[in-house]
Amino acid sequence: MPRVDLFTPVHKGLRAALCDTLGRVGSTGFGDPAQVRLAVRSVRTLLGLLDEHGLLEERFLVPVLSRLDAALGAELSAGHRRLETLQHTLALRLVEVEDAAGEARAEAGRRLGQDLCELGAESLRHMLTEEREANALLHAHLEDADLRALERGMLQALPPRRLAGWMGWILPALGAGERASALAALREALPGEALADVTEAARQALGSARWQATRLAAGL
Ligand SMILES: [Fe+2]
């Protein structure tokens, strides 16, 4: 029986959003206002996810990890601070892209692509450290029931509209078994009526056949 994994499924969703945004920004012609609007929206969505992700990990997971291994806790916190700085740089670059015109906008767009790559590289490395080292530490010291309680806390800390955005990225990014487990955990954390709203974007992305299969496998 696989252990509860508080990092990898969420990170798969984040990686999907990151790759989508990298593709979108890379293919944007910065002379076309409509394309620029789509690219800016994509980067803002990604930044919203990354900001929330860092805050949730700092609030719910880093304190537990720091008690078990102070050095790893400090390393992960330092990683979150580096990511915050890169996220802030990217947010400023977005404003530059929006405010500029002509050649200056093309140049700001080129820099936006580079800043996004830098953030992506740092984020990928950081997430892998969590998936390998933080998971190993949690699995060595905590029971699955304790990990589920932490997971519920994080799910319930997000407003439903934000959680829906997350699920729109996470659920389609998972394999079938992981997706069913994630849906079952979501069901446990949320009252019945909220679940439909929170899974709406995921249902759209998955299509009805995969969604029905996921529901059945999750016992819903
Ligand atoms: Fe993290």
Residue pair 55/81 in contact by the 8 Å Cβ criterion: no
Read off the pLDDT of residues 81-102 as tens digits, 9 standing for 90 and up.
Answer: 999 999 999 999 999 999 999 9
Confidence of residue 114 (pLDDT cuts 50, 70, 90): very high
Read off the pLDDT of residues 177-210 as tens digits, 9 standing for 90 and up.
Answer: 999 999 999 999 887 778 999 999 999 999 999 9
User: For the chain, which residues make up each domain, given as ranges?
Assistant: 1-143, 158-220
CA–centroid distance, 76 to ligand 1, in Å, is 6
CA–centroid distance, 85 to ligand 1, in Å, is 14
Read off the pLDDT of residues 32-87 as tens digits, 9 standing for 90 and up.
Answer: 999 999 999 999 999 999 999 999 999 999 999 999 999 999 999 999 999 999 99
Residue pair 205/164 in contact by the 8 Å Cβ criterion: no
- Homologous superfamily (CATH) of 1-143 is nmb1532 protein domain like (1.20.120.520)
CA–centroid distance, 129 to ligand 1, in Å, is 9
Q: Enumerate residues with CB within 5 Å of ligand 1 (an ion).
A: 57
219 CB burial (10 A radius; 0-12, 13-18, 19+): exposed
Residue pair 53/87 in contact by the 8 Å Cβ criterion: no
CA–centroid distance, 219 to ligand 1, in Å, is 31
CA–centroid distance, 80 to ligand 1, in Å, is 6
Tokens of 96: 């530059």
pLDDT at 170 over 90: yes
CA–centroid distance, 53 to ligand 1, in Å, is 7
Q: Is the dihedral of CA 112, 115, 121, 124 positive or negative?
A: negative
Read off the pLDDT of residues 9-36 as tens digits, 9 standing for 90 and up.
Answer: 999 999 999 999 999 999 999 999 999 9
Amino acid 25 reads V
CA–centroid distance, 126 to ligand 1, in Å, is 6
CA–centroid distance, 6 to ligand 1, in Å, is 11
CA–centroid distance, 62 to ligand 1, in Å, is 8
